[in-house]
Amino acid sequence: MTQGPTVTGESPSPAVYGQSDRPPRGDYSRGGEVRADYTCPQDYAAYTASDHETYRRLYERQSALLTGLACDEFIDALPLLGVKDRIPRFEEINDRLFPATGWQVVAVPGLIPEVPFFTLLANRKFPVTDWIRKPEEYEYIVEPDVFHDLFGHVPLLFNPVFADHMQAYGAGGLKAHRLGACEQLARLYWYTIEFGLMQQTDGANPGLRAYGAGILSSSGELVHAVTSDAPHRLALDVLRAMRTRYKIDSYQQTYFVINSFKQLFDLTTPDFTPLYEQVRKAEELTPDTVQAADVVVKRG
C-alpha cells in the first residue's frame, strides 16, 4: 500500500467533472484515512456478500463476451488479474502486476482531481475506485467503480507498450495542466484509453476490436462499439480527437481507431504544446460530426 501523508483535520475534496446536479459519489473523509495524494486503504472488510456477488456476475458476463470484440492484448492479459469470483484485494493484483511492468494499483475513494490523478499515473500507480455499484445500478453507472477500473483498465497495464503509454500520459497530463490544456488532453484520453478501438491486422482473426476501458467494462457498449452500424469510426488523429466534445451518459457516436499500441504510443510521444495552440484556434466538433478531412474507417 502506498504511504503518503495522512490529511488530518480536513479531508481532500471530491472531484466533479462536467455539470452535475447530484453530489459526487464516494466517501472522501473515511475518518481521516484518505491521504493527501487521494489514495486510501482498500476497505476490504466493508464489502458485503452482495458486493462480491455483483463483481462476480459482472466479471462472468463480461469475460464471456470478449471473443471477437476485445483486442487480443486484452484477452491475453485478463487472466493475469487472477480473482474472478469476488472483488480482488489490490495487494494480490500488485503481487503479479508490479513484477510484470512496474505498475501498482492504489485505492482511491472515487474520481479525484486532475493533478493527483496525473501524478499517480506518472509514477506508475493506477488509481482504482474501491467501491462497487449497487445491484440496481448493475447495467449502467456513469462514474467509475471498482469493476470498471479493475476489469477495464488494469489488464492492459500488464502489456509493456500500453503500460509505458499510461505513464507518459500521466507526465503529459501534468504538462497539460501547466499549459491550461487539461480539457484537450482529457478528450484524447476519452477517445483512446476509455473508448478506443483497434483495427487488429495480425493474429488468428483480424478485425475491429475494443481496447478502451469504458467499452470493455460495459456489455452494451462493447457490442455497440464493435458491431453496430450507427456510430462513425474514424482513424485516430490526435488533433481531431482533441477538438471533439464527448458525452458521458450515452453510447459514443464516434469512435477513433488505431492500428496498434505502438502506433498510439508513437502518435502521442511528440510534444503537444503546439497542438494545444492549434486546438484552441480550431472549431470544436460535436460527437456526431464527420468532416471531409477525416479518414473514415466506417461511416455511421
Residues that bind ligand HBI (CB under 6 A): 15, 108, 111-112, 114, 117, 127, 129, 144, 173, 186, 189
Q: Which does 163 bind (CB under 5 to 8 A by kind): Fe ion, ligand HBI, none?
A: none
What's 94-129 look like in SS3? Answer: HHHHHHHHCCEEEEECCCCCHHHHHHHHHCCEEEEE
Indicate which residue of 73, 114, 194, 221 is catalytic: 194
**Which residue has its beta carbon closest to Fe ion?**
213
Question: How many whole angstroms separate alpha carbon 11 and alpha carbon 289?
Answer: 42
How many residues belong to the site for Fe ion (CB under 5 A)?
Answer: 2
Nearer to ligand HBI, 148 or 200 (CB): 148
Nearer to ligand HBI, 148 or 208 (CB): 148
Looking at residue 296, what DSSP letter applies?
E
Count H helices and E strands in the chain, helices first: 12, 7
Q: Which of 91, 94, 75, 84 is nearest to 55 (CA)?
A: 84
Residue 43 C-beta: closest distance to Fe ion, Å? 21
Residue 211 C-beta: closest distance to ligand HBI, Å? 16
Indicate which residue of 217, 218, 221, 232 is catalytic: 217
Active site residue 224: no
Active site residue 165: no
| Cell numbers at 184, concatenated | 484537450
The binding track of 197-236 with respect to Fe ion, each residue x by CB under 5 A or -, is: ----------------x-----------------------
Residue 155 C-beta: closest distance to Fe ion, Å? 13
Residue 127 C-beta: closest distance to ligand HBI, Å? 4
Q: Which does 111 bind (CB under 5 to 8 A by kind): Fe ion, ligand HBI, none?
A: ligand HBI
Cell 462472468 belongs to residue: 60
Nearer to Fe ion, 144 or 155 (CB): 144
Nearer to ligand HBI, 111 or 208 (CB): 111
Active site residue 136: no
Indicate which residue of 148, 165, 221, 232 is catalytic: 148
103-131 exposure pattern, b = at least 16 Cβ within 10 A, e = fewer: bbbbbbbbbbbbebbbbbbbbbbbbbbbb
Nearer to ligand HBI, 208 or 210 (CB): 210
Q: Which of 60, 53, 80 is nearest to 163 (CA)?
A: 80
Q: Which of 69, 262, 74 is nearest to 156 (CA)?
A: 74
Do 137 and 46 meet the contact criterion of CB atoms below 8 Å apart?
Answer: no
Q: Which does 58 bind (CB under 5 to 8 A by kind): Fe ion, ligand HBI, none?
A: none
Residue 201 C-beta: closest distance to ligand HBI, Å? 28
Question: How many whole angstroms separate alpha carbon 255 and alpha carbon 253?
Answer: 7
Q: Which does 213 bind (CB under 5 to 8 A by kind): ligand HBI, Fe ion, none?
A: Fe ion
Active site residue 232: no
Question: How many whole angstroms separate alpha carbon 198 and alpha carbon 257?
Answer: 5
Nearer to ligand HBI, 16 or 282 (CB): 16
Q: Kindly write down the DSSP assignment for every residue of 219-275, as one continuous string.
A: HHHHHHHHH-SSSEEEE--HHHHHTB---SSS--SEEEEES-HHHHHHHHSS--HHH
Tell me which residues are annotated as active site. 148, 153, 194, 217
Residues near Fe ion (CB under 5 A) are: 144, 213
